[in-house]
């Protein structure tokens, strides 16, 4: 719809800004630059262009960061829908593991037509989660909201089922698979280390310890 004339680069900026503004109200130039692997000065230039676009895709005020406009959010969600549908398709139909899907989907997301998006969605039965448990925006671009707990918030004795791993790092994902921490895995918190926030977990019959850098990014359904 709103997505003609947009370059891959623009789509990437919007996607990154969308992700950054989930946590904070506005995204800063330096944050964006770091995520995109680009110099801050390049980001400033792009922010100006996108906020001067008709319709504006960003609300930008010098020195105070940016937020998406409705039009910008629309585009970002469209790309995220492409990305997550592709990830799931690669996983379900072409034998990709959850650590391999991200990189491939990152390139494909910009070039598939709406028609292909739709056929993939149909083929997969209009799924709601990608292989990492991330929610897939619907055709109307609404996002199902989950009320899952951060694994890092659990207390000793609680049991839970893994629902989402919000990190695309292939090495981490491979490691998690190797210890049995995959979607729908059942786990129990044995102990919470007071000072470093480490969690001692039982997964299957394996005991292991995970630090907060990791447990912050894992979401679970508490039983």
Partner DNA sequence: AATAGAATTTAGTTAAGACTAATTTTAATG
Partner DNA sequence: CATTAAAATTAGTCTTAACTAAATTCTATT
**Stretch binding its own copies (CB under 8 A), from 119-127, 170-178, 181-189, 194-202:** 119-127
CB of 55 to DNA, least distance (A): 15
Closest CA to 184 of 214, 155, 199, 204: 204
Give the number of residues in contact with DNA, rule: CB under 7 A.
27
Can residue 104 be called a binding residue for its own copies (CB under 8 A)?
yes
d(CA 15, CA 72): 9
Can residue 145 be called a binding residue for its own copies (CB under 8 A)?
no
In sequence order, the β-bridge partners of residue 188 are: 159, 202
Q: What is the x/- site pattern for DNA, positions 37-76, by CB under 7 A? A: xxxxxxxxxxxxx----------x-xxxx-----------
Partner interacting with residue 156 (select from its own copies, DNA, none; CB below 5-8 Å by kind): none
Report yes or no: 136 and 130 within 8 Å, Cβ to Cβ.
Answer: yes
Q: Can you tell me which of 14, 43, 80, 90 binds its own copies, judged by CB under 8 A? A: 90
Can residue 17 be called a binding residue for DNA (CB under 7 A)?
no
Maximum separation of any 2 CA atoms in the chain, in Å = 57
Task: Write the CA distances from 41 to 15, 20, 80, 190, integer angstroms.
Answer: 19, 18, 26, 48
CB of 58 to DNA, least distance (A): 11
Element (DSSP H or E) covering residue 209: strand 206-210
Q: How many CA atoms lie within 13 A of 118 on its CB side?
A: 4
Can residue 93 be called a binding residue for its own copies (CB under 8 A)?
yes
Q: Which residues bind its own copies (CB under 8 A)?
A: 90, 93-96, 100, 103-104, 107-108, 110-113, 115-116, 119-120, 123
């Amino acid at each position: 719809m709103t997505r003609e004339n947009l370059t891959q680069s623009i789509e990437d900026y919007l996607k990154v800004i969308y992700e950054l503004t989930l946590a904070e109200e506005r995204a800063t130039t330096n944050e964006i630059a770091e995520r995109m692997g680009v110099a801050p000065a390049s980001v400033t230039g792009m922010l100006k262009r996108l906020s001067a676009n008709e319709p504006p895709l960003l609300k930008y005020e010098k020195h105070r960061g940016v937020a998406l406009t409705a039009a910008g959010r629309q585009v970002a969600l469209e790309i995220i829908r492409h990305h997550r549908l592709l990830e799931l398709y690669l996983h379900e139909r072409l034998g990709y593991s959850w650590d391999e899907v991200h990189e491939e989907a990152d390139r494909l997301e910009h070039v598939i037509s709406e028609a292909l998006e739709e056929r993939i969605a149909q083929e997969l039965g209009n799924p709601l989660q990608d292989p990492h448990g991330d929610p897939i925006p619907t055709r109307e671009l609404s996002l199902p909201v989950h009320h899952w707990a951060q694994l890092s918030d659990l207390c000793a004795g609680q049991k839970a089922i893994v629902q989402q791993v919000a990190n695309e790092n292939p090495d981490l994902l491979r490691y998690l698979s190797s210890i049995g921490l995959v979607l729908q895995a059942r786990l129990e918190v044995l102990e919470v280390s007071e000072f470093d926030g480490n969690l001692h977990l039982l997964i299957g019959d394996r005991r292991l310890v995970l630090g907060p850098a990791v447990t912050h990014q894992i979401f679970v359904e508490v039983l």
